[in-house]
Structure 1
Amino acid sequence: MSERTQVSRRTWMTSAAAAAGVLAVSSAARAAGAGVATPVVQTSHGPVRGRVEDGVNAFRGIRYGAPPIGALRFRPPQPPAKWSKVFEADTFGAAAMQTPGADAPKTEEHSEDCLFLNVWSAGLDAKKRPVMVWLHGGGFWEGAAGRPTYYGDHFARDGVVLVSVNHRLNVFGFAQLPDSWGPAYKSSGLAGMLDIVLALQWVKANIARFGGDPNNVTIFGESGGGAKVSLLLGMPPAKGLFHRAIIQSGAGLNAAPRDYAQTLGGALTDVLGVKAGDVAALGAVDAKTIFDSQKAAVEKAKGAAKAGFLTDGFVPSIDGQALPRGPFTPGPQPWIADVPLLIGTNRDEMTLFLANAPAVINQTDAEFEKGVRDAAPAKADQIIAVLRAAHPGATPGDLTIAFQTAKTFWIDSVTLAERKLSQPAPVWMYRMDWDKSPALGGKLKAAHAMELSFVFSTHDNIRFFVGPGDGPNRMAAQMHPAWVAFAKTGNPQTANLPNWPRYDTVRRQTMIFNLESKVESDPQGDLRRLMGA
């Protein structure tokens, strides 16, 4: 996502800051330290003890990797040192260093030392419940696993062991140093992704002790988290560590090219004044100095490669080893042939970023048309006509939001689904259309991230975003069980949904989630044919 898009998102978040801050902090306060102690669980690194909260065993802030600081900065993660004293897992661990957002609880800590995970389970027994591993959104720059939207207690009550993961982000997770730094840094541009691999290895080794089944693991994520799921589907080190995948509004077909990533990494060390190979000097630089140097490094590397969605700046890059190529460019890797996929988007994704932007609100017809022509010159007239026909009476700004939603989120999701269909495992496609949130004066509609609390059934934690009333309850009653069913069986069909066929390239059956959900065949087919790969 471009820097301008990030700024737009933060601009919107500021408008919700007061309500978000109050609700997020109160939810966090209620959760932290509540309940009685769980039995001690002996993990492969040491004993941990969580809290029993409303019948759910909750473990927060379990360390799964050694602090990635000093000589380990920018390098693949290492297992933590073993401990013998019982660790009280009652507080969320630090999230990655980032610029604090208005949607973050005020109690949230940020640190370069951020390799922590959380577990929610209904029983610490041998029942072998399906496991879901959540990868948070925020692009590759921000976000945290411990936010109230992502609490896993509802999944746990419905028979799933929910794991959520913090890992390195931005410059700390994705700075690809040049070859002059030697083989230890060959995959430094994937350090944050390798953190997730280490967390999945932790799940494989330990989750049975938390009542989970290490042979039934679903990875899922939204936005940047969806892109992380996409990348894991193309990473050899992750092979065999998961068995199903869900991508929400974050299909990732490719990753940053290595030459650009190395140019950017070299620009960073130049800005920091660190010579190639000087590991001690690199490890000694203050973390805030590194964090604050990102913008200067990106400016210095400008022109090295064409920027793209989730492929510019400090983001995961192709190293030829941990990520041999783009995960779905040209197609899926053979080792995920038996991994079922659930994938989809929200109808109005880009309202979250653009609905309050003056340049969009006040846009003219000519400006809307110019935007389409700049982005798709060969088919602009046809795309403009199709968008106007599909949205009669829409303002030029609304049409721009519809076009940017398709371009940025929807088309890549369809393309990824099409490419995954070359393999035998089933694919299911959805779109979330509920648009009754009162936030931002009702402008958000079916915005980016709107489905999250319905999937987690945590909508009561973020009513400032989804609004009051029964609508969010009805949406959660449909979406949450579908995700649970997919984790349990590899099929999202439930009794309270209409028949949901597998996706294919003939009928393109897509579940449209709304107060009254339905299945549509090839929704927006005319636009798909014009904009598809």
Structure 2
Amino acid sequence: MPGTLMDRRTFLASAALAASTGGTAIGASHRPKDGLVETREGPVVGRATEHGTAYFGIPFAAPPVGPLRFRAPRPPARRSAPLDATAFAPAPIQQPPAPGLYGPGPLPQSEDCLALNIWSPRGPGPHPVYVWIHGGGNVAGSSRMPVFDGDRFARHGIVCVTISYRVGALGFLDLSTLLGADYAGSGNNGLLDIVEALRWVRANIAAFGGDPRRVTIGGQSAGAKNVCALLAMPAARGLFQRAIVESGGAETAIDKDGAARMARAFLELAGFDDPRVLLSLDPASLLAAQAKLQKSWPRKYPFRAVIDGTVLPDLPLSMIRDGRAAPVPLLIGTTRDEIAFFGPNAARDGTVVQGDLANMAIDAFAPVYHAYGQSFPALSSVDRRYRALTAEEYWMPTLRTAEAHASLRRPTWLYRLDMPRSTGRNAGYAVHGSELPLVWDKVRDPQSAVLGPEGAEAEALATRMHAHWVSFIRTGAPGADWPLYRPQDRWTMLFDRVDAPTRDLDDMEQRLWTGARYDFG
């Protein structure tokens, strides 16, 4: 598919993931027989796996094409003939990745992308359910990445679901100020897609042996930030009972004024005066305008949740703090050196520019960054930049989310992955996406293990981390050896060669961020 090359940050964020690679529920007594399952929309046929049965490419919404482009998702049509659910559906429209990045061959893409994949365990159930939301900067990614192999969870009696959602302009461009009230909420269509998938799960997952009353949502990077938005969305309330946030946070959003500015900028960059052209513009031209916007917008990853007062009433962090967000158990954390994945700045002098920042204006970041030089004089300029930018986009938003959630006595567990890679470009660092092959137990898979730590110690850590995730999905707690995060002691589980619960992790660094101003850009 033609289109401009994605910028380096977006490409690498997507590569990180890839290389590591409402209704009445159907009766829980219904079990797959010979791979055939009857859903509300019609029968589907899957294929046997090592630990159960897999079903790929099941539509959970009507194709968002033609008159449904930029519209909220609609329920899928009913089928009379069985659906062959043995191949993945196309990924959402995005800049073409490198060949083989998401598995063998090129990545199929289509606007008709709203589908999900299910790995169902053997045994009658009802089993807990894990619904996974991929990352990719809200402009890339796919549920077909090799690391997202749900059969590892099925082995432990968990129904695993991976979903797709619209990304980029098709999922996060608010056209209401350009096209009127009919397009209200269009800036959150990607999030509404996820809600529609969760509704499908509630209505159908019992037929696959799942328990619709024990659903955990999880995501990484942009997927994790979207999980935080779902915690705050009224439409998502009751559709899940637990949440996992890997390298995200609840502060990456844009307000209505910013969303309106972005829509006008997008139309100008697309080269049109009439916004109605966007309703039928070819995907390659949409992607070209999208790439220009990403380069010119004063925040990393401009396509993000829109605080529109309806779909998303307020900043997710504010809603968590004042008790308006879903009161569910939360497992949340980061890797130690997130930003090291993207490499140093070109001059390797530690310079930070506005485009490096996800949540702050450069003049608000500057005094904090200056304090890093005073507080960590032994760090190289490269490592000081990694540390400060990791804190700005991931570590501080994660801590604030955990603190806000725990302050209301809602069960919260915080982690940080410290085990680094020992070889390759990221040797010595625990980078963005490093936890994925560990928590999905895919360290031995060459297509999945490229990001994370390697070797026997990494395999042992994968066994431990995967067990914690399984425990949380099954019971709502990751295990007795992992203490709750509470504001009075702030326990954090450090994952490394030896796992260690730690109180007040990096307290001195946390103090550097006291009063730091985040904004919407």
TM class by shorter chain equals 0.7 to 0.9
1:56 paired with 2:52, answer yes
- Any unmatched runs of 5+ in structure 2? 22-31, 516-521
1:471 paired with 2:457, answer yes
Alignment correspondent of 1:424: 409
Aligned partners of 2:384, 2:512: CA distance in 1, in Å? Answer: 16
Alignment correspondent of 2:347: 359
The alignment covers a number of residue pairs equal to: 491
Shift of 1:375: 5.2
Decide which moves more: 416-425 or 210-219: 416-425
Aligned partners of 1:92, 1:298: CA distance in 2, in Å? Answer: 29
Aligned partners of 2:9, 2:68: CA distance in 1, in Å? Answer: 34
1:42 paired with 2:31, answer no
Match of 1:520 among 492, 496, 502: 502
Aligned partners of 1:503, 1:273: CA distance in 2, in Å? Answer: 51
Contact 1:337 1:423 in 2 (8 A): no
Aligned partners of 2:13, 2:112: CA distance in 1, in Å? Answer: 29
Alignment correspondent of 2:27: none
Alignment correspondent of 2:26: none
Q: 1:449 to 1:487 in 2, by over 3 A?
A: same
Alignment correspondent of 2:385: 400
Task: Among all aligned residue pairs of Structure 1 and Structure 2, give the percentage whose two residues are the same amino acid.
Answer: 35
> Aligned ranges for residues 248-287 of structure 1 at < 5 Å?
248-269=246-267, 271=270, 273=272, 275=274, 278=276, 282-287=278-283
1:384 paired with 2:373, answer yes
Q: Secondary structure at the match of 2:392?
A: helix
- RMSD over equivalenced CA pairs, Å: 3.0
> Aligned ranges for residues 34-183 of structure 1 at < 5 Å?
38-102=34-98, 103-105=101-103, 106-123=105-122, 125=124, 127-183=125-181
Q: 1:333 to 1:86 in 2, by over 3 A?
A: farther
Aligned partners of 1:69, 1:272: CA distance in 2, in Å? Answer: 22
1:219 paired with 2:205, answer no
**1:464 counterpart letter in structure 2:** V
Contact 1:239 1:335 in 2 (8 A): no
Match of 1:442 among 427, 433, 440: 427
Shift of 1:298: 6.2
**1:513 counterpart letter in structure 2:** F
**1:414 counterpart letter in structure 2:** L
CA deviations on 1:168-198 (whole Å, 9 max, x unpaired) are: 0001101111335232210000011100000
Q: Pick the structure with more helix per residue.
A: 1
Shift of 1:63: 0.7
1:320 paired with 2:309, answer yes
Shift of 1:331: 3.9
Contact 1:268 1:294 in 2 (8 A): yes
**1:460 counterpart letter in structure 2:** R
1:185 paired with 2:183, answer yes
1:247 paired with 2:236, answer no
Q: Secondary structure at the match of 1:179?
A: helix
Shift of 1:227: 0.5
Alignment correspondent of 2:471: 485
Contact 2:10 2:136 in 1 (8 A): no
Per the normalisation by structure 1, the TM-score is 0.85
Q: Secondary structure at the match of 2:318?
A: coil
**1:469 counterpart letter in structure 2:** G
Aligned partners of 2:381, 2:177: CA distance in 1, in Å? Answer: 48
Alignment correspondent of 2:25: none
Decide which moves more: 137-146 or 399-408: 399-408
Contact 1:197 1:237 in 2 (8 A): yes
Contact 1:234 1:332 in 2 (8 A): no
Q: Secondary structure at the match of 1:184?
A: helix
Shift of 1:297: 5.4
Q: Secondary structure at the match of 1:77?
A: coil
Contact 2:35 2:48 in 1 (8 A): no
Contact 1:233 1:333 in 2 (8 A): no
Contact 1:37 1:50 in 2 (8 A): no
CA deviations on 1:305-336 (whole Å, 9 max, x unpaired) are: xx3454x2x33212211111111136446354
Shift of 1:416: 1.0
Aligned partners of 1:66, 1:227: CA distance in 2, in Å? Answer: 25
CA deviations on 1:364-390 (whole Å, 9 max, x unpaired) are: 7xx5899999554445554322223xx
Aligned partners of 1:260, 1:237: CA distance in 2, in Å? Answer: 23
Aligned partners of 1:39, 1:401: CA distance in 2, in Å? Answer: 48
Aligned partners of 2:60, 2:47: CA distance in 1, in Å? Answer: 19
Per the normalisation by structure 2, the TM-score is 0.87
Contact 1:122 1:161 in 2 (8 A): yes
- Any unmatched runs of 5+ in structure 1? 25-35
> Aligned ranges for residues 19-30 of structure 1 at < 5 Å?
none
Contact 2:95 2:287 in 1 (8 A): no
**1:410 counterpart letter in structure 2:** W
